[in-house]
Homo-oligomer: A and B are copies of this chain.
Amino acid sequence: MKPISDKDAWDGEADCINCTLRNSVLFAGLEEKDFDQIHQPIDLYTLPAGSILYRAGDKGDRMYTIRSGALKLVQYLPDGTQRIVRLIRSTDVIGLETLLGQNYQHDAVALQPIQACSLPVSVVQALSQTNPKLHQELLSRWQRALEEADAWLTELSTGSAKQRIARLLLRLVRNEDTSECELFSREDMGAMLGITTETASRTIAEFKRQSLLMETQPNHFLLDIRNLGHIAED
């Protein structure tokens, strides 16, 4: 759980203009001249799994673009139970709420080692006022987050544990052809689906026995997409 202020974590200032993800990232619509307007540094970090980018309630002063790795956005109930409300992956942006001057709404915790760029709100705010493309991109990110949240409600919080796990697995497939999929701890899976760690474990174990999953490396699986699809849909 290293804090982001660690010196180790800092990789220096980001070179946005030559960013390898430039086309898929928040700043896709910007032109060279726009970057001259950036008066605060955009830092690049490499962080180990378990790192916390920010906590719910913290004053929101920066957004983050995720370059690689995955993180979870977590909310807590008064009794302490946690619920993972979103999964964040490469090219996603978190911390949009800071644009409205709000505090962060979630804990943002790395599930894997991650690379992230830290964007000061003031920078994004300034750029978005002069650059309609960036502005549009922000709206569209907001909407995407909303769609994602809705999908979690309908797909991942409805139906039996088996169905939910199957749906989660199918969502996690990165490459349809190879049907590869990287999983998380059973505890996190439970927190994503609103089920207990044990139920998550039992279900995954059962899927393995039924050859719906093949574990190639620890937590790295090949899926039987067709049959998981049947389970997911009923």
Residues of A within 8 A of B (CB): 75-79, 81, 83, 85, 96-97, 99-100, 102, 105-106, 136, 139-140, 142-143, 145-147, 149-150, 152-155, 157-159, 194, 233-234
Contact = CB atoms under 8 A, between A and B. Distances in A.
A150 B79 contact: no
Contact of A150 (B102, B105, B234): B105
A136 B83 CA distance: 30
Contacts of A97: 143
A85 B158 contact: no
A188 to B, nearest CB: 14
Nearest to A153: B85
B99 A139 contact: yes
Contact of A154 (B85, B102, B145): B85
Contact of A143 (B77, B79, B102, B233): B102
Given A75-B153, A139-B142, A234-B79, A158 B100 contact: no
Contacts of A81: 158-159
A152 B83 CA distance: 11
Contact of A100 (B85, B143, B154, B157): B143
Contacts of A234: 79
Contacts of A157: 83, 153, 157, 194
Given A78-B233, A100-B139, A153-B153, 6 more contacts: A106-B150, A139-B139, A142-B143, A145-B146, A149-B153, A158-B194
Which of A83, A139, A145, A154 has the most chain B CB atoms closer than 10 A to its own CB?
A154
Contacts of A96: 143
A159 B196 CA distance: 10
A187 to B, nearest CB: 14
